[in-house]
């Protein structure tokens, strides 16, 4: 049994980690910190977790609390992991960071896209990018893993097969994405209140969304071809879920059947992927670590449309983190991860 901890367990991704760890046969939770909730029973904040954690409280963080653990998950807002991981990465076996602090290889991109200098750039090169379907061999046994962002994952999964095969122009891709409100985190915000969200769809961070360089970096690294995307996210009145509709101009004659065949061939050995002619929906991934995909080619305009859906809190965050942890700890990659969604 591997001993694990969560730093930042009181947020939505932390709560999802608590749920998944409770059902994982090889992971045992030892620490769950939550600074704003320290000392409060987990079941009081999340009654849904009462059965697996009837007496456990959220802890206050200190480096020594995780000393000797096999693996620690960091589920923290951007910028916080940078102040914590330098203190713990040598006293724990593995670290999986769910935040964006160590995803980008170039520290200057943090200044450009996040508006702040990176406080521990010397560690950036020690992290591997935690997207198992593209970088599985790098993740196996890795001590420092930066798990992929939810929006970035949805876009990358849809585009990677076609960028890799050079079926589309990789330097002129468009990503239109719709995401649920839980992606903004648990703390209340003006734009995520019920009255702001209900019956409303809003685009946000036009031309400046922080996942843009992450998408480009992952596609470029994986394919070897320079990738550039125009990324526009939209907030929708749903708890969770992401659907990414991506566009690229084809470089050769290609039919819809050929595009679907490319998707199917690319992901045929991946246990969490469903490629189908039917258009995917966010509901089909609810609560599961699955990705649903489809594709179309509009021969009239010479454009490819490729669409992916996933649950932003499972495959987009905590499920992705567990999948990375399984690889790092030399466990079966799929263990403890649900593939059956909730419906209705």
From 126, 160, 176, the end of a domain falls on 126
Instruction: Give the least confident one: 18-22, 187-191, 275-279, 298-302.
Output: 187-191
Residue 187 pLDDT class (50, 70, 90 cuts): confident
**What pLDDT sits at residue 285?**
98
CATH, residue 115? 3.40.50.720
164 and 301 share one domain: yes
Determine the average pLDDT of the residues in 45-68.
Answer: 97
217 and 278 share one domain: yes
Position 146 in a domain: no
Position 209 in a domain: yes
Cβ–Cβ < 8 Å for 294, 276: yes
291-301 per-residue burial string, b: 16 or more CB within 10 A, e: under 16? bbbbbbbeeee
169 and 109 share one domain: no
Which of helix, strand or coil describes residue 34?
coil
188 and 225 share one domain: yes
Position 142 in a domain: no
Position 215 in a domain: yes
157 and 305 share one domain: yes
**Token pair for residue 167?**
């079926």
DSSP code for 191 = G
Residues with Cβ within 8 Å of 218's Cβ and at least 6 positions away in sequence, in order, are: 129, 131, 134, 148, 152, 156, 160
Position 334 in a domain: no
Position 166 in a domain: yes
Determine the structural domain holding residue 215 and report its residue range. 151-311
160 and 202 share one domain: yes
**What pLDDT sits at residue 185?**
85
Q: Give bridge partners of residue 7 from the DSSP assignment.
A: 33, 74
113 and 173 share one domain: no
**What pLDDT sits at residue 46?**
97
173 and 285 share one domain: yes
119 and 156 share one domain: no
Position 339 in a domain: no
pLDDT digits (tens, 9 = 90+) for 241-252: 999 999 999 999
Cβ–Cβ < 8 Å for 170, 227: yes
Which of helix, strand or coil describes residue 29?
strand
Please say if the pLDDT value at position 253 is more than 80.
yes
Please say if the pLDDT value at position 184 is more than 90.
no
DSSP code for 250 = B
User: Does the global pTM surpass 0.85?
Assistant: yes
Determine the average pLDDT of the residues in 216-244.
Answer: 97
**Separation of alpha carbons 319 and 32, rounded Å:** 17
From 126, 142, 174, the end of a domain falls on 126
- Indicate which residue of 74, 150, 195, 246 is catalytic: 150
Residue 255 pLDDT class (50, 70, 90 cuts): very high
Percentage with pLDDT > 90 across the chain: 95
pLDDT digits (tens, 9 = 90+) for 88-122: 999 999 999 999 999 999 999 999 999 999 999 99
**Separation of alpha carbons 38 and 304, rounded Å:** 49
DSSP code for 210 = T
Position 136 in a domain: no
43 and 120 share one domain: yes
**What pLDDT sits at residue 192?**
87
CATH, residue 209? 3.30.360.10
Q: What's the total number of domains in the chain?
A: 2
218 and 292 share one domain: yes
Mean per-residue pLDDT over the chain, rounded: 97
111 and 223 share one domain: no
Catalytic residue status for 195? no
């Amino acid at each position: 049994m591997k001993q694990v901890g969560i730093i930042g367990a009181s947020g939505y991704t932390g709560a999802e980690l608590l749920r998944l760890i409770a059902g994982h046969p090889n992971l045992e939770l030892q620490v769950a910190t939550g600074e704003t909730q320290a000392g409060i029973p987990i079941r009081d904040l999340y009654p849904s977790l009462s059965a697996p954690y009837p007496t456990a409280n959220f802890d206050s963080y200190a480096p020594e609390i995780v000393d000797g653990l096999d693996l620690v998950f960091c589920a923290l807002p951007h910028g916080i992991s940078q102040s914590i991981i330098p203190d713990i990465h040598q006293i724990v076996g593995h670290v999986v960071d769910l935040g964006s602090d160590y995803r980008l290889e170039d520290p200057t991109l943090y200044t450009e896209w996040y508006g702040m200098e990176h406080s521990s750039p010397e560690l950036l090169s020690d992290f591997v990018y935690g997207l198992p379907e593209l970088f599985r061999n790098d993740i196996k046994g890795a001590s420092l893993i930066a798990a992929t962002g939810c929006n970035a994952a949805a876009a990358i999964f849809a585009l990677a097969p076609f960028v890799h095969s050079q079926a589309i122009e990789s330097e002129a891709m468009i990503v239109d994405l719709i995401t649920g409100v839980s992606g903004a985190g648990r703390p209340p915000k003006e734009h995520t209140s019920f009255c702001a969200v209900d019956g409303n769809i809003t685009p946000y961070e036009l031309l400046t969304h922080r996942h843009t360089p992450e998408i480009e970096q992952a596609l470029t690294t994986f394919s070897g071809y320079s990738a550039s995307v125009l990324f526009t996210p939209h907030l929708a009145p749903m708890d969770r879920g992401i659907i990414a509709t991506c566009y690229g101009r084809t470089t050769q004659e290609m039919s819809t059947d050929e595009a679907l065949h490319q998707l199917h061939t690319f992901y045929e050995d991946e246990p969490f992927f469903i490629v189908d002619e039917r258009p995917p929906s966010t509901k089909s991934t609810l609560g599961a670590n699955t990705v649903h995909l489809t594709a179309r080619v509009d021969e009239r305009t010479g454009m490819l449309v490729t669409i992916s859906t996933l649950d932003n809190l499972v495959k987009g965050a905590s499920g992705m983190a567990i999948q990375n942890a399984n690889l790092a700890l030399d466990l079966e990659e799929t263990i403890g991860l649900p593939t059956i969604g909730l419906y209705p």
